[in-house]
Amino acid sequence: MPFFTIPNKGFEQGMLLEKLLLNVLIVLSPILVYTAFGDRIKKALSPFSIGLVQGAASSLCLIFSYEALNLYWDLRYVPLVITTVYAGPVAGVINYLFILGTRTYLNGNALHFGYISITLTFLGTLYLSRFTKNRSGRDRLRRVVLISVVPSLIMLIIMLSYTLINDVKSPAHFNPFVAVLFFGALETLGTWLPAMLLEFNNERSSMKEEILRAEKLKTLGGVAASMAHEIRNPLTAVQGFLQLIRANNYDRKTRDYLQIALDELERAESVINDYLSFSKPKLTHFESFCLVELIRNIITMLTPVSSCKGIEFQCRFKGPLYIYTDRGQLQQALTNVIKNAVEASSENSVVQISLSLQGSQVELKIIDSGKGMTKEEIQRIGTLFYTTKEKGTGLGTSVAVRIIEAMKGNILYESEKGKGTVCIISLPLEAEQLANTN
Ligand code: ADP
Ligand code: MG
Pocket of ligand 1 (CB under 6 A): 336, 340-341, 344, 368, 370-373, 381, 386-389, 392-398, 421
Region 162-189: mean pLDDT is 75
pTM of the model: 0.57
Region 310-321: mean pLDDT is 88
Reported as a single tens digit per residue, the pLDDT across 388-424 is 998 888 889 988 998 998 899 999 999 999 999 999 9
Q: Which residue's CA is minimally distant from atom 13 of ligand 1?
A: 387
Predicted local distance difference test score (pLDDT) of residue 438: 42
Reported as a single tens digit per residue, the pLDDT across 35-55 is 888 777 877 889 999 999 999
With a cut of 70, say whether residue 258 has pLDDT above it: yes
Under the banding of pLDDT at 50, 70 and 90, the label for residue 433 is: very low
One-letter amino acid at 163 equals T
Ligand 2 centroid to Cα of residue 293, in Å, is: 22
State what percent of residues in the chain have pLDDT above 90: 41
Predicted local distance difference test score (pLDDT) of residue 196: 93
**Which residues share a beta bridge with 361?**
358, 428
- Ligand nearest to the CA of residue 379, numbered in listed order: 1
69 vs 196, which has greater pLDDT? 196
Region 3-15: mean pLDDT is 49
Q: Which residue's CA is minimally distant from atom 7 of ligand 1?
A: 396
Q: Using only C-alpha atoms, what is the Rg of the chain?
A: 32
**Which residues share a beta bridge with 354?**
316, 365
82 vs 175, which has greater pLDDT? 82
Under the banding of pLDDT at 50, 70 and 90, the label for residue 434 is: very low
- Ligand nearest to the CA of residue 368, numbered in listed order: 1
Which is the closest atom of ligand 1 to the Cα of 372?
A: 25
Predicted local distance difference test score (pLDDT) of residue 280: 65
Ranked by mean pLDDT, the top range of 17-31, 82-96, 138-152 is: 82-96
Reported as a single tens digit per residue, the pLDDT across 143-173 is 999 999 988 888 888 777 777 777 766 666 6
Region 134-139: mean pLDDT is 84
Ligand 1 centroid to Cα of residue 136, in Å, is: 27
Region 78-107: mean pLDDT is 94
Phi/psi region, residue 394 (left: phi>0; alpha: psi -120 to 50; beta: rest), is: left
What is the spatial distance between Cα 123 and Cα 76, in angstroms, rounded to a whole number? 15
Q: What is the mean pLDDT of the chain?
A: 85
- Ligand nearest to the CA of residue 344, numbered in listed order: 1
Predicted local distance difference test score (pLDDT) of residue 279: 64
With a cut of 60, say whether residue 113 has pLDDT above it: yes
Count CB atoms within 10 A of the CB of residue 405: 14
State what percent of residues in the chain have pLDDT above 70: 91
With a cut of 70, say whether residue 285 has pLDDT above it: yes
CB 46 within 8 A of CB 87: no
85 vs 437, which has greater pLDDT? 85
Region 228-238: mean pLDDT is 84
Ligand 2 centroid to Cα of residue 402, in Å, is: 14
Predicted local distance difference test score (pLDDT) of residue 259: 87
With a cut of 50, say whether residue 253 has pLDDT above it: yes
Predicted local distance difference test score (pLDDT) of residue 13: 57
Ligand 1 centroid to Cα of residue 343, in Å, is: 8
Predicted local distance difference test score (pLDDT) of residue 10: 46
Predicted local distance difference test score (pLDDT) of residue 14: 62
Region 235-246: mean pLDDT is 88
What is the spatial distance between Cα 125 and Cα 86, in angstroms, rounded to a whole number? 12
Predicted local distance difference test score (pLDDT) of residue 12: 58
What is the spatial distance between Cα 358 and Cα 352, in angstroms, rounded to a whole number? 18
Predicted local distance difference test score (pLDDT) of residue 71: 72
Reported as a single tens digit per residue, the pLDDT across 205-214 is 889 888 988 8
